């Protein structure tokens, strides 16, 4: 665990201060253990909060993508192209491939492989 005496000194000093104020040493020790556990639980809660925020961002991204798709469908309908025609075209065309190509054209980072496993393996470290 890597504890040394120097890292325990603040806790020992805190216990001494509590006892000097008239608090029973057993009560002070129990309270300190409770405080340490609460602090660790707070760290876990903060990690969960970060995870939830990341999930929310992914949902926002997915929702924005779907909204763009729905807007495109609405625009096609406004131009007189029915959803039946779009459906038939989707059966013939590889729309996922087309979507990837379009996003690659609009995503400035899509052609960058910095940080990818293949890129890291090809680095020459001197």
Per-residue confidence (pLDDT) for residue 102, from 0 to 100:
72
118: tokens are: 């293949």
Q: What is the mean pLDDT of residues 60-64?
A: 92
What DSSP designation does 81 have? -
List of E strands, the chain: none
Q: What is the mean pLDDT of residues 24-33?
A: 90
125: tokens are: 């470290």
CB within 8 Å of 119: residues ≥ 6 apart: 113
Bigger pLDDT: 126 vs 1: 1
For the chain, which residues make up each domain, given as ranges? 5-104
Convert the pLDDT of each residue in 88-109 to its tens digit. 877 777 777 777 777 776 655 5
């Amino acid at each position: 665990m890597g504890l040394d005496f120097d890292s325990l000194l603040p806790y020992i000093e805190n216990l001494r201060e509590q006892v000097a104020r008239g608090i029973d040493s057993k009560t002070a020790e129990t309270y300190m253990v409770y405080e340490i556990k609460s602090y660790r639980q707070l760290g876990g809660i903060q990690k969960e909060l970060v995870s939830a925020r990341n999930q929310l961002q992914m949902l926002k991204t997915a929702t924005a993508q779907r909204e763009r798709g729905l807007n495109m469908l609405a625009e096609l309908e406004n131009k007189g192209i029915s959803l039946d025609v779009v459906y038939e075209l989707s059966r013939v065309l590889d729309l996922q491939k087309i979507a990837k190509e379009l996003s690659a054209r609009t995503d400035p980072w899509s052609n960058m492989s910095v940080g990818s496993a293949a890129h890291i393996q090809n680095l020459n470290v001197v």
